[in-house]
Chains A and B, each alone.
Chain A
Amino acid sequence: MRFEHPATFNPIDQLKVIGHPTSRIEGPLKTTGTAPYAYERHDVVPNQAYGYVIGSAIGKGRIAAIDLEAAKGAPGVLAIVTAENAGKLGKGERNAAPLLGGPEIAHYHQAVAIVVAGTFEQARAAAQLVRIDYAKGDGRFDLAAGRDEAIAPHPSFGGPADTAVGDFAAAFAAAPVQLDATYATPDQSHAMMEPHASIAAWDGDKLTVWTSNQMIAWGAEDMAKTLGIPRDNVRLVSPYIGGGFGGKLFLRADVLLAALGARAARRPVKVALQRPLMFNNTTHRPATIQRIRIGAERDGRITAIGHESWSGNVSGGEPETAVSQTRLLYAGANRMTATRLAALDLPEGNAMRAPGEASGMMALEIAIDELADKLGIDPVALRIANDTQVDPEHPQRKFSQRQLVQCLNEGAARFGWSKRNPKPSQVRDGRWLIGMGVAAAFRNNLVTKSAARVRLDRQGRVTVETDMTDIGTGSYTIIAQTAAEMMGVPLEEVSVRLGDSDFPVSCGSGGQWGGNNSTAGVYAACVKLREAIAQKLGFNSAEAVFADGVVRSGNRSVSLAQAAAGGDLVAEDAIEYGDLAKTYQQSTFGAHFVEVGVDADTAEIRVRRMLAVCAAGRILNPKAARSQVIGAMTMGVGAALMEDLVVDKRHGLFINHDLAAYEVPVHADIPHQDMIFLDETDPISSPMKAKGVAELGICGVAAAVANAVHNATGVRVRDYPITLDKLIAAMPV
């Protein structure tokens, strides 16, 4: 199905099932520990051996020699695979550094070997006996030092390296009020709870992997390419994923080494990346340095806005596109952005929840707060004054929907923003200095092809199959809701099967595109199935009504079970998009409000209240969508106050590479969170009239916390995370 024109009334608009806060249909499995994750598939293949991954102990250089003798002789060892004996390997389209290093080492903890043994304990013990001599090379590990040599990268996912409208330099110079500030965001880790894990089994030259991956088709393609085998010889299965956040978008070392280990050991092999390997072995969100310049009239109108960002990556890696929201969020006639990429030898940087905007909004939304201070204008009012209903670079392009102002106003009213004292460090509650902060939320809505297959059986049950994944996002449930609405059956009559490369290729889970596109693909397949059913019954498909398990046309009515009495009826289709994403700018909006307390003596920061108001098209399942947003708000608190992969610039690694040293928010860090959605449907986006929401929730949160800390203390920290050592010397007495 091609989606070329804005959606009109369709069966989804009945809202009998869609739009209800249904509990997740897989909830009873997840809460009883019976949902099967990758490493747990004792059921799929017998005789599984265990792999243990060895990571490089240097950040850059070469392996001079590997001595495997002692390890090979250790109890239970079945095989050891290194680059030396793995055979010729290619590299996936979406990998920058090779997943199996040697003799060249691209980054610290790059996998250099897998030891396969009969038990986990044997594999782990034998891995300690592998002796590797390294010839350490010189690496570049310091973004600030590499900034001056950073290059303008080729146009990437986030847009061109340089953008310009009007005359930024002249307008900025002429502006009566100017802000020129530089911000820093650190490297961050996805740190999902389930490690990257896989079981691999060969049957002749055919490979099946049970793995944990957000993008099934990408993973199968890149596995085939890396191994140099036909794509059709690879099956990838991933029905449950213990968190991803972008860290499981790609083929990674666990699954490749499981396949290589299984081939060498002639047995199925299971591998989970050890937690202390994950932070340097896999990808991370790259650090940024961002300079923001804004010129404004005294009434607050922005006349010039410029945003430059520097980040680093390994050879072949992409920049963090932290300037992207600045091209769209606020009005202003004169604009520029610049993205620069420094060559670094740290582990590969790549997408983490809201790549680009999450980092960019951390800086931009402090800058707006700083500008508000300079102007003496309320930061909510300043944002509203600079709203735009069109793409500021191309004013003929309207936003399909843009309720930023409504989000800000609704949030301000609900949060009690009028009680905020604009003068910092004025409000106390015992030993706590109290502050409130606000930030806008912004993230683009991406549309991309997504396919599904739908089957009606003689019991009247509907089964959906698509390679879409559920990484905690609620895909199972919203897909079931979509099929139930379209076919006119109760939710209980729908089965959803996901995450298998044998199923039609979906959009997968990433970039907050999963919910809208995958359900639109199911919509397309259901339209086709409705036609097949109508045809089978001799009904006019345009007049057929599907409701309560029955198809009606005129005065005829037949149950779905009867319609399929002669055999299953199956339909497969994909949603494909025309030019609406070019004609209109499709984005999602929100406003974050945060109250913090800062200990007047120790500068300890506690988040006391949080509210997000979001406008993101039709909300398919308010319960699951709200969870996406509050989860993103939690990760935003982490970004604001604690998350920081600390670079050891001598040895070239993230030194805090486990869950004790890389701190993420825990229960005690997070108060009760409030979150509401504004009513919205976006017929420009898809037949579902929905948009993405999972990443919107993180964009702006950290800045709202930072702005609240400033309001509490008067201290402006521009270098994340905001830890008490950065506050203590400047705290009010």
Chain B
Amino acid sequence: MTRVSFDVNGETHQLELDTRTTLLDALREHLHLTGTKKGCDHGQCGACTVIVDGRRINSCLTLAVMHHGDEITTIEGLGTPDGLHPLQAAFVEHDGYQCGYCTPGQICSAVGVLAEVKAGIPSHVTADLNAPLRLTNAELRERMSGNICRCGAYSNIAEAISEVAGRSA
């Protein structure tokens, strides 16, 4: 067991954890923040995506004790049912989900994508590293491809993200 302390959604948490506990299980099982989902526990599906110090990560692939002092944002930190984040509202409006299980990960990932594009971070499909980065259809789909939606809401998710990014899908 080890003590670890980090901020989640602006609140500091002190936990005493089995060192084998993933960040995902720390959130879900210890802090009862179950909005972050466990789909595969192997970094293959993206359902557990959270934002740590401004970057999106798969919380199942990292141990909680590695995040001492970090600032973590989960889906619960983005908005509430009565006060939706613009991306959450756009997902509702465009029906960018069905069963809802991958949805928090998709939304956290989308927050990360918009930040990456703003910061000019290139992806596999970025053709010109010197040109200003734009969120093209190819960029959006490439960057979101770590988040599987088996219900197949991709076309609607792309439209939801595009609306928030101020462009058409």
* Cα separation A31 to B92 with both chains bound (whole Å): 7
Known: A121-B18, A635-B152. 10 other contacts (CB 8 A): A29-B81, A29-B100, A32-B104, A193-B39, A194-B37, A242-B37, A634-B152, A659-B148, A665-B152, A667-B158
Contacts A23-B93, A472-B151 known; A194 to B39 CB distance under 8 Å? yes
* Cα separation A29 to B35 with both chains bound (whole Å): 10
* Cross-interface CB contact of A272 among B38, B47, B158, cutoff 8 Å: B38
Interface centre among A27, A31, A634 (most CB of B within 10 A): A31
Fill in one digit per residue for A46-77: 1 if any B CB lies within 8 Å of its CB, else 0: 00000000000000000000000000000000
Fill in one digit per residue for B93-120: 1 if any A CB lies within 8 Å of its CB, else 0: 1010111111110010000000000000
* Cα separation A276 to B102 with both chains bound (whole Å): 18
Contacts A42-B34, A670-B154 known; A193 to B81 CB distance under 8 Å? no
Taking a contact as CB atoms under 8 Å apart, the answer to whether B98 and A472 are in contact is yes
Taking a contact as CB atoms under 8 Å apart, the answer to whether B37 and A42 are in contact is no
Taking a contact as CB atoms under 8 Å apart, the answer to whether A119 and B157 are in contact is no
Taking a contact as CB atoms under 8 Å apart, the answer to whether B92 and A664 are in contact is no
Instruction: Specify which chain B residues have a CB less than 8 angstroms from the CB of A245 in the assembled complex.
Output: 150
Please, how many residues of chain A have a CB less than 8 angstroms from a CB on the other chain? Answer: 65
Taking a contact as CB atoms under 8 Å apart, the answer to whether A194 and B28 are in contact is no
* Cα separation A624 to B94 with both chains bound (whole Å): 10
* Cα separation A474 to B100 with both chains bound (whole Å): 11
- Identify the 9 closest CB pairs spanning chains A and B, nearest first: A33-B35, A634-B152, A242-B101, A30-B100, A472-B98, A472-B99, A631-B152, A40-B34, A28-B81
Min CB distance A154 to B, Å, is 33
Q: Of the listed stretches B51-59, B126-134, B138-146, name the one at the interface; the rest are far from the partner chain.
A: B138-146
* Cα separation A424 to B18 with both chains bound (whole Å): 61
The number of A-B residue pairs with CB atoms under 8 Å apart is 198
* Cα separation A190 to B101 with both chains bound (whole Å): 15
* Cα separation A191 to B153 with both chains bound (whole Å): 15
Asked if A473 is at the interface (CB within 8 A of a chain B CB), the reply is yes
Asked if A660 is at the interface (CB within 8 A of a chain B CB), the reply is yes
What are 25 A-B pairs at a CB distance below 8 A?
Answer: A26-B100, A29-B81, A31-B75, A32-B78, A32-B80, A32-B81, A32-B88, A33-B35, A33-B103, A121-B20, A190-B150, A192-B101, A193-B101, A193-B148, A193-B151, A243-B150, A275-B42, A627-B156, A628-B98, A630-B152, A658-B44, A666-B147, A666-B154, A670-B141, A672-B137
* Cα separation A471 to B101 with both chains bound (whole Å): 10
Taking a contact as CB atoms under 8 Å apart, the answer to whether B100 and A472 are in contact is yes
* Cα separation A42 to B30 with both chains bound (whole Å): 10
Residue of A nearest to B25 (CB): A120
Contact residues of A between 605 and 648, Cβ < 8 Å to B:
623-624, 626-628, 630-635
Contacts A33-B104, A243-B150 known; A624 to B95 CB distance under 8 Å? yes
Contacts A36-B34, A630-B156 known; A193 to B76 CB distance under 8 Å? no
Asked if A134 is at the interface (CB within 8 A of a chain B CB), the reply is no
Instruction: Specify which chain A residues have a CB less than 8 angstroms from the CB of B5 in the assembled complex.
Output: none
* Cross-interface CB contact of A473 among B78, B98, B140, cutoff 8 Å: B98
* Cα separation A122 to B19 with both chains bound (whole Å): 11
Taking a contact as CB atoms under 8 Å apart, the answer to whether A195 and B38 are in contact is yes
Asked if B165 is at the interface (CB within 8 A of a chain A CB), the reply is no
Instruction: Specify which chain A residues have a CB less than 8 angstroms from the CB of B150 in the assembled complex.
Output: 190-193, 243, 245, 635, 664
Instruction: Specify which chain B residues have a CB less than 8 angstroms from the CB of A551 in the assembled complex.
Output: none
* Cross-interface CB contact of B153 among A29, A35, A630, A659, cutoff 8 Å: A630
Interface residues of B (CB under 8 A from A): 18, 20-21, 25, 28-29, 32-42, 44-45, 47, 74-76, 78-82, 84, 88-89, 91-93, 95, 97-104, 107, 137-138, 140-142, 144-159, 169
Interface centre among A28, A275, A667 (most CB of B within 10 A): A667
Taking a contact as CB atoms under 8 Å apart, the answer to whether B99 and A31 are in contact is no
Asked if A602 is at the interface (CB within 8 A of a chain B CB), the reply is no
Instruction: Specify which chain A residues have a CB less than 8 angstroms from the CB of B100 in the assembled complex.
Output: 26, 29-31, 35, 240, 242, 472
Taking a contact as CB atoms under 8 Å apart, the answer to whether A193 and B153 are in contact is no
Min CB distance B123 to A, Å, is 10
Residue of A nearest to B78 (CB): A32
Taking a contact as CB atoms under 8 Å apart, the answer to whether B39 and A120 are in contact is no
Taking a contact as CB atoms under 8 Å apart, the answer to whether B101 and A37 are in contact is yes
Asked if A389 is at the interface (CB within 8 A of a chain B CB), the reply is no
Min CB distance A212 to B, Å, is 9
Instruction: Specify which chain A residues have a CB less than 8 angstroms from the CB of B40 in the assembled complex.
Output: 195, 275, 658-659
* Cross-interface CB contact of A667 among B76, B84, B103, B157, cutoff 8 Å: B157
Instruction: Specify which chain B residues have a CB less than 8 angstroms from the CB of A274 in the assembled complex.
Output: 41
Instruction: Specify which chain A residues have a CB less than 8 angstroms from the CB of B79 in the assembled complex.
Output: 31-32
Taking a contact as CB atoms under 8 Å apart, the answer to whether B28 and A667 are in contact is no
Instruction: Specify which chain A residues have a CB less than 8 angstroms from the CB of B33 in the assembled complex.
Output: 33
Asked if A413 is at the interface (CB within 8 A of a chain B CB), the reply is no
Asked if A577 is at the interface (CB within 8 A of a chain B CB), the reply is no
Instruction: Specify which chain A residues have a CB less than 8 angstroms from the CB of B98 in the assembled complex.
Output: 243, 472-474, 627-628, 631
Interface residues of A (CB under 8 A from B): 23-24, 26-37, 39-40, 42, 119-122, 125, 190-195, 240-245, 272, 274-276, 471-474, 623-624, 626-628, 630-635, 658-660, 664-668, 670-673
Residue of A nearest to B47 (CB): A193
Instruction: Specify which chain A residues have a CB less than 8 angstroms from the CB of B21 in the assembled complex.
Output: 121
* Cα separation A275 to B41 with both chains bound (whole Å): 7
* Cross-interface CB contact of B99 among A40, A191, A241, cutoff 8 Å: A241
Instruction: Specify which chain A residues have a CB less than 8 angstroms from the CB of B154 in the assembled complex.
Output: 634, 665-667, 670
Taking a contact as CB atoms under 8 Å apart, the answer to whether A33 and B75 are in contact is yes
* Cα separation A707 to B50 with both chains bound (whole Å): 41
Contacts A31-B107, A275-B41 known; A633 to B101 CB distance under 8 Å? no
Residue of A nearest to B79 (CB): A32
Contacts A193-B47, A241-B99 known; A631 to B151 CB distance under 8 Å? yes
Min CB distance B110 to A, Å, is 11
Min CB distance A456 to B, Å, is 25
Contacts A632-B152, A658-B44 known; A668 to B39 CB distance under 8 Å? no
Residue of A nearest to B100 (CB): A30
* Cα separation A631 to B155 with both chains bound (whole Å): 9
* Cα separation A287 to B158 with both chains bound (whole Å): 33
* Cα separation A673 to B159 with both chains bound (whole Å): 11
Residue of A nearest to B156 (CB): A627
Instruction: Specify which chain B residues have a CB less than 8 angstroms from the CB of A627 in the assembled complex.
Output: 95, 98, 151, 153, 156
Taking a contact as CB atoms under 8 Å apart, the answer to whether A195 and B39 are in contact is yes
Taking a contact as CB atoms under 8 Å apart, the answer to whether A672 and B84 are in contact is no
Min CB distance A198 to B, Å, is 14
Residue of B nearest to A474 (CB): B98
* Cα separation A194 to B151 with both chains bound (whole Å): 11
Instruction: Specify which chain A residues have a CB less than 8 angstroms from the CB of B152 in the assembled complex.
Output: 630-635, 665, 670
* Cα separation A26 to B37 with both chains bound (whole Å): 17
Taking a contact as CB atoms under 8 Å apart, the answer to whether A275 and B75 are in contact is no
Instruction: Specify which chain A residues have a CB less than 8 angstroms from the CB of B34 in the assembled complex.
Output: 33, 36-37, 40, 42
Taking a contact as CB atoms under 8 Å apart, the answer to whether B92 and A33 are in contact is no
* Cα separation A26 to B95 with both chains bound (whole Å): 11
* Cα separation A660 to B100 with both chains bound (whole Å): 21
